[in-house]
Amino acid sequence: MSDIHPSDPRSLRNALGCLATGVTVITTRAPKGQPVGITANSFSAVSLQPPLVLFSLNRGAYSLRSFLSAHNFAVNILRADQHELASNFAVPLQDKWKGIQYEVWETGCAILPDALASFECKIRYTYDGGDHVIFVGEVLRMTADLEGRPLLFYRGRYSSLDGER
Domain at 50, CATH number = 2.30.110.10
Question: Is 43 within the bounds of a domain?
Answer: yes
Whether 12 is covered by a domain: the verdict is no
Residue 129: phi and psi, rounded to 5, are -125, 50
Mean of per-residue pLDDT scores for the chain: 91
Is the CB of residue 138 less than 8 Å from the CB of residue 10?
no
Give the residue numbers spanning the domain of 67. Answer: 20-156
Query: Side by side, which strands form the sheet with 163-164?
Result: 21-22, 151-154, 157-160, 163-164
pLDDT at 2: 67
Residue 14 lies in a domain: no
CA atoms of 65 and 150, how far apart (whole Å)? 29
Does position 16 have pLDDT exceeding 80, yes or no?
Answer: no
Confidence class for position 18, pLDDT limits 50, 70, 90: low
Q: Which of 162, 160, 144 is nearest to 86 (CA)?
A: 160
Q: Is residue 66 situated within a structural domain?
A: yes
Per-residue model confidence (pLDDT) at position 125: 98
CB 114 within 8 A of CB 86: no
* Number of independent structural domains in the chain: 1
* Structural contact between residues 23 and 158, judged by C-beta atoms closer than 8 angstroms: yes
What predicted TM-score, i.e. pTM, was given to this entire model? 0.92
Domain presence at residue 1:
no
In angstroms, the CA 75 to CA 54 distance is 9
Domain for residue 111, yes or no?
yes
Residue 15 within any structural domain of the chain: no
Residues 133/60, Cβ–Cβ less than 8 Å: no
| In-domain check, residue 109 | yes
Please indicate whether residue 13 or residue 43 has the higher confidence score (pLDDT). 43
When pLDDT is averaged across residues 23-28 and rounded to a whole number, the result is 98
Q: pLDDT per residue over 51-105, tens digit each?
A: 999 999 999 999 999 999 999 999 999 999 999 999 999 998 778 999 999 999 9
- 8 Å CB contact between 28 and 66: yes
pLDDT at 44: 96
